[in-house]
Amino acid sequence: MRTITLRPLRAIGVPLEAEKISPDVFAPLSLSQIRSLEAFQGNRRTLIADHFKVEGDEAVALVEETTIRLEGDFSRVKRIGENMSAGTIEILGPVGMRAGSGMKGGLLRINGNADDWLGREMRGGKILVSKNAGNYVGSGYRGEKCGMRGGEIEIDGSAGAYLGEHMCGGTIHVSGNAGDFPGAVNQGGIIVIGGSTFLPGAEMTKGTITVRGKATVLPSYKKVEEIQIEGLAYQKYIGDLVENGKGELYVALG
Amino acid sequence: MIIRGGIVYDPANGIFGEEMDLCIDNGRIVEDAKGEVIDASGLLVMPGGVDAHSHIAGPKVNTGRIMSPGDSRMGTEPKTAVCRPSTGYTVPNCYAMGYRYARMGYTTAFEAATPIIESRHTHEELEEIPIIDKGALTLFGSNWEVMECVRDKDISKLAAYISWGLRASRGYGVKIVNPGGGEAWGFGSNVKGLYDPVPNFDVTPAEIIRALAQANEMLQLPHSIHLHFNNVGKPGNYTTAIETLELLKDIKPSRMRQIVHVAHMQFSAYGGTSWRDFDSQAPVIADYYNTHNHATMDLGQIIFGNATTMTADAPLEYGNARLLHAKWSNHDIELEESSGVVPLIYGRKMPINAIQWAIGLELALLTKDPWKVLMTTDHPNGGPFVNYPEVIALLMSKAKRAEEIATVHELVTKRTTLPGIEREMDWNDITIMTRAAPARVLGLEDKGHLGPGADADISIYNLKPEEVDPSKDYKLVKNALSLAKYTIKSGQVVSIDGEITATPEGKTYWVDAAVPKADMDRLMIDLKAKFERYYSIKMSNYMVQDAYVTRPMVIKTGEQVSEAVQ
């Protein structure tokens, strides 16, 4: 097992495009090669070593056996773990936009808050967030038919608006509340919201959304039966009928 | 400049793969020249590619871009010392159009449909497409003035209108899209066949097509009418195709060329009565072409993957959007047309798409004379033009076709004849279909060949035709054609091994067709009334000014009485 640790040298102002911070990129490189990886800051070409202190095991390892630890404030560092296929990234602190975007496998553990577009268009793997996440978790970029297609996202806190927009597969668990319009245009994903939310499943055609707290349901949903899941009573709805949808929406009763 | 030792294919001049030197001076092919020498020993050398039917500029392309932000993210390339940044795949930005054509060895492309009133935008985009020469065909098929002339059987006034319309739009030729249908769509319907009258105009598509063909020949335009049939994209439409071709066969061409060029024939070679029993009627169409000489076609070959359909056939796009539950843009173009844009994905395993894919290839392979068939994908309706090398590889190799057929829906083997076709095209056929024939069909005398006086547009590929067997080495063929070793535009090297080295600005062709003053005067009375009563803009603001076509290449034709046209 190889562990590489990055710590910011100073506070980062203009956001950094850090798609190179990924086990797939780091695994075959020595520490000095990692330090000289390129990262755009705005329109300036900079190096990883300009922003971070890089320490850890020198010997190269397989991607699966590579762990990257990011310690400190990474809230202005974008695209961490983009397209990663295996290995682990552990972040101790907040992380910037688009963490785990296009992720295919491995584990991204965030001990802190995550910004917008967490796991956008994710294909596989697992993302764990100990605090809150921003808007568009597991969504697709503008114009994309599918957002998240596979994998798992677990958020211990709350999530912002448009949770899992355009989702085609995979699972998202939010322990707290979710912002407006979770599961919009859901086409097969599973979303579980521990708290409350507003207008879930707009234009959903397939998939499941479960809300354990309160939810305002769109008028284009058809009420079906009441059912029990894990000892809790839910009202089941089918929709979104605007799209002739077969999606299932469960909202806790009482 | 001298290009030494290449294996040259120039079928227009009877040169079929001979080792020879090419001399270039002042942007043209000459007998003898000095200066820089490019070593092309043993390499495949052809005239620069000519695309006679492609949607590269104008409002509908832009609508496609706006509708598909996801497309813009595909194919992004950063700027270089020479190039500006590129974006997009099915609807690239203007710069990418030029670079990508040039990389493939193409040096000319024509925008296939622009309404007169939208032409200023078309030219704004054409001006920004680097490297290649271009032109735009002007839409006349559902135009009020056209239909009134047809109703009154006044072919000379119709000719005057075409002359005026080409000047107003700085257009190159007469494009007809689903004649009458664009007007009918304004009332929520369509014309269902050649003899279905257009609402409120008392004319039929058959009358519109014939009259425009006659007027086209009266003006002696370099290009024939360029026709998108009625009923395009509908099962059973091959009968409309044959009927329409029959309708035109007695018209006398005014030049040594076809009377009608049929756009994207693949979308008009469908049998069956619905999508359930939909099958290929490409053999019937090919037979017709094998026994008649008045028509040419381009393929409109389907490429699996993303495409953006865009056409002035608005009812067709409404059907597409409904059938596929896709995004839909619809546009009403005042007195001239209607149009639509729908992005879609062609799937290998979708029975309809697989059969469409086979039909394009059948048309090319079953039509014996390559001069009658232009290779296109109707960019981006069938797929983006960057896939031309894929189509060429398919046409040249039965093995490649077999490999692909194994991956597509099995209905291809039952509903089309593609699996049984043995023909493998050679480099002559390919040079004709992608260079010589498109230039001849468009009437571009300086393009598509390498005789003295021709434009020095040349593509040199990293492929030795005397050593490579395209039937077996189809991967090599596709790779070599995707990135030309050298692309030379007007005597200047613009791309080396797929890297753009220079971005000169190409010319824009348009046709100035003169008509008798009396006809033009009669027309002006009509037009003034139309602009006063119906158009949203004034006639003085309608014409495309010279400022929008900064490098014009004007082809003069028609009767030499021209001062009337202002």
Structural domain boundaries of chain A?
2-252
What is the fold, at CATH topology level, of the domain defined by A2-252?
A: Pectate Lyase C-like (2.160.20)
pLDDT digits (tens, 9 = 90+) for B213-247: 999 999 999 999 999 999 999 999 999 999 999 99
| Å between B70 CA and nearest CA of chain A | 5
Q: At B501, phi and psi to the nearest 5? A: -110, -20
Residue B481's SS3 state is helix
Q: Report the percent of chain B where pLDDT is more than 90.
A: 97
A146 contacts: CB under 8 Å, gap ≥ 6? A121, A140, A166, A167, A168, A187
Q: Which residues of B touch A140 (CB under 8 A)?
A: 70
Chain A residues in contact with B68 (beta carbon < 8 A): 143
Query: What ipTM describes this predicted complex?
Result: 0.79
**Min distance A242 CA to chain B CA atoms (Å):** 13
B559: pLDDT strictly greater than 80: no
Task: Kindly state the tokens that stand for B251.
Answer: 């018209």
Closest to B37 measured CA to CA, from B515, B486, B559: B486
Is residue B566 over pLDDT 70? Answer: no
Q: Report which secondary-structure segment, H or E, holds B160.
A: helix B155-169
Task: Tell me how far CA of residue A202 lies from CA of A147, A221, A222, A245, A250, in angstroms.
Answer: 15, 9, 13, 10, 14
Distance CA B89, CA B76 (A): 8
Q: Among all residues of chain A, which has the CA nearest to that of B67?
A: A143
Burial class (CB within 10 angstroms; exposed 0-12, middle 13-18, buried 19+) of B467: exposed
Alpha-carbon span B283 to B417, nearest angstrom:
8
**Domains of chain B by residue range:** 46-500
Interface test with A, best of B65, B67, B73 (most A CBs within 10 A): B73
Give the gap in angstroms from C-alpha B345 to the nearest C-alpha of chain A: 11
Region B182-207 average pLDDT: 95
A222 CA to chain B: closest CA distance, Å? 22
B69: closest chain A residue by CA? A143
| Confidence category of residue B539, pLDDT binned at 50, 70, 90 | very high
Confidence band of B435 (pLDDT split at 50, 70, 90): very high
* Structure token digits, residue A242: 């605007």
For residue A105, what are its two tokens? 């496998």
- pLDDT at residue B121, rounded to an integer: 96
**Nearest chain B Cα distance for residue A43, angstroms:** 12
CA distance A21 to A39: 9
Contacts with B562 (C-beta within 8 Å, 6 or more apart), sequence order: B512, B514, B556
Q: Do B73 and A145 touch (CB under 8 A)?
A: no
Residues of A in contact with B75 (CB under 8 A): none
A216, HSE (Cβ side, Cα atoms, 13 Å): 5
pLDDT at residue B379 in the model: 96
pLDDT digits (tens, 9 = 90+) for B296-340: 999 999 999 999 999 999 999 999 999 998 999 999 999 999 999
Q: Which residues of B make CB contacts under 8 Å with A? A: 67-73
**CA–CA separation, B119 vs B137, rounded Å?**
10
DSSP B173-197: EEEEESTTHHHHHTTT----STTSP
Q: Are strands B270-271 and B279-280 parallel, antiparallel or unpaired?
A: antiparallel
Amino acid letter, B485: K
List residues bridging with A69 in a β-sheet: A5, A90
Beta sheet of B329-333, edge-to-edge order: B305-311, B337-346, B329-333
What pLDDT was estimated at residue A253?
A: 93
Per-residue pLDDT averaged across B30-47, rounded? Answer: 95
HSE at residue B509, side-chain half, CA atoms within 13 A, is 27
Q: Which residues pair with A55 in a beta bridge?
A: A5
| Helix ranges, chain A (H) | 23-26, 31-35, 48-51
CA distance B342 to chain A (A): 13
Those residues whose C-beta lies under 8 Å from the C-beta of residue B163, and which sit 6 or more positions away, are: B219, B513, B514, B515, B520, B558, B565
Which residue is closest to A145 within chain B, CA to CA? B70
DSSP B138-158: EE-TT-HHHHHHHHTT-HHHH
Is there a contact between B71 and A142 if contact means CB atoms under 8 Å apart? no
**Closest to A118 in 3D by CA, of B232, A157, B179, A128:** A128
* Phi and psi at residue B358, to the nearest 5°: -70, -35
Low-confidence stretches of chain A (pLDDT beneath 50) = none
Distance CA B197, CA B181 (A): 10
Task: Please judge whether B68 and A143 are an interchain contact, meaning their C-beta atoms are less than 8 angstroms apart.
Answer: yes
> Which DSSP helix (H) or strand (E) runs through B283?
helix B282-291
B-chain residues within 8 Å CB-CB of A142? Answer: 69-70
Which pLDDT score, from 0 to 100, does residue B564 have? 41
What are the C-alpha distances in Å from A177 to residues A159, A161, B124, B457? 6, 10, 50, 64
Cβ atoms of residues A210 and A234 within 8 Å: yes
How far apart are the C-alpha atoms of B212 and B103, rounded to whole Å? 37
Q: What pLDDT score was predicted for residue A143?
A: 86
Mean of the per-residue pLDDT values for chain B? 95
- A&B contacts, CB < 8 Å: 15
Contact B310, B384 (CB under 8 A): no
> Taking CA atoms, what residue in A is nearest to B70?
A143
Check if A44 contacts B (Cβ < 8 Å).
no
On chain A, the residues whose CB falls within 8 A of the CB of B72 are 143
Helix, coil or strand: residue B8: strand
Comparing alpha-carbon positions, the chain A residue that sits nearest to B344 is A145
Name every chain A residue with its beta carbon within 8 A of the beta carbon of B73.
Answer: 141, 143
Q: Which residue of B has its CA nearest to A140?
A: B70
Q: Which CATH number is B46-500 given?
A: 3.20.20
Q: What is the pLDDT of residue B563?
A: 43
The two tokens of residue B302 are: 């389907």
Using the structure block, give the residue that is written with the tokens 């497309």: B71
A144 chain-B contacts, CB cut-off 8 A? 70
A237: tokens are 């709805």
Residue B206, H or E segment: helix B205-218
Q: What is the pTM of this model?
A: 0.91
- B71 vs A contacts (CB less than 8 Å): 143
Contact B163, B548 (CB under 8 A): no
- Tens-digit pLDDT profile for residues B355-413: 999 999 999 999 999 999 999 999 999 999 999 999 999 999 999 999 999 999 999 99
Whether B297 and B227 have beta carbons less than 8 Å apart is answered as: no
Specify the pLDDT at position B467.
Answer: 95
User: Please, what is the Cα angle at A54 between A51 and A55, to 5 degrees?
Assistant: 160
Best A17, A142, A243 residue to mutate vs chain B (most B CBs within 10 Å):
A142
Strand pairing class (A171-174; A187-193):
parallel
What is d(CA A229, CA A214) in angstroms, rounded to the nearest whole number? 16
Phi/psi of residue B224, each to 5°?
-80, 180
CB-based contact B165:B216 (threshold 8 Å): no
Burial class (CB in 10 A: 0-12, 13-18, 19+), B521: exposed
Nearest-CA residue of chain A relative to B65?
A: A143
Which chain A residue has its CA at the smallest distance from B74's CA?
A: A144
Q: Which chain B residues are within 8 Å of A143, Cβ to Cβ?
A: 67-73
Q: Which of residues 112-171 of A touch B (CB under 8 A)?
A: 140-145
Q: Report the share of chain B in percent with pLDDT over 70.
A: 99
Distance (Å, whole) CA B242 – CA B471: 33
To the nearest whole angstrom, how far is the Cα of B88 from the nearest Cα of chain A?
Answer: 13
Q: Is the pLDDT of residue B440 over 80?
A: yes
Closest alpha carbon to B517 in B469, B560, B477: B560
Kindly state the DSSP code that residue B254 receives in the 8-state scheme: S
Find chain A residues with C-beta within 8 A of B70's C-beta.
140-145
- Strands (DSSP E) contained in A34-163 are 38-41, 44-47, 52-56, 66-71, 77-78, 88-92, 107-111, 126-129, 152-155
Q: Using CA of residue B529, residue B530, residue B536, residue B537, what is the dihedral sign?
A: negative
**Nearest residue in chain B measured CA to CA from A143:** B70
Question: Which residues of chain B does A141 touch, with a Cβ-Cβ cutoff of 8 Å?
Answer: 69-70, 73
Report how far residue B93's alpha carbon sits from residue B171's, in angstroms, rounded to the nearest whole number.
Answer: 22
- Find which of A45, A144, A146 to mutate to test the B interface (most B CBs within 10 Å of its CB): A144
Looking at beta carbons, which residues of chain B come within 8 Å of A145? 70
Asked if B372 contacts B433 with a C-beta cutoff of 8 angstroms, the reply is no
Q: How far, in Å, CA of B437 to CA of B11, rounded?
A: 10
pLDDT given for residue A43 in this prediction: 87
Helix (H, G, I), strand (E, B) or coil at B227: strand
Handedness of CA B176, B179, B180, B184 (dihedral sign): negative
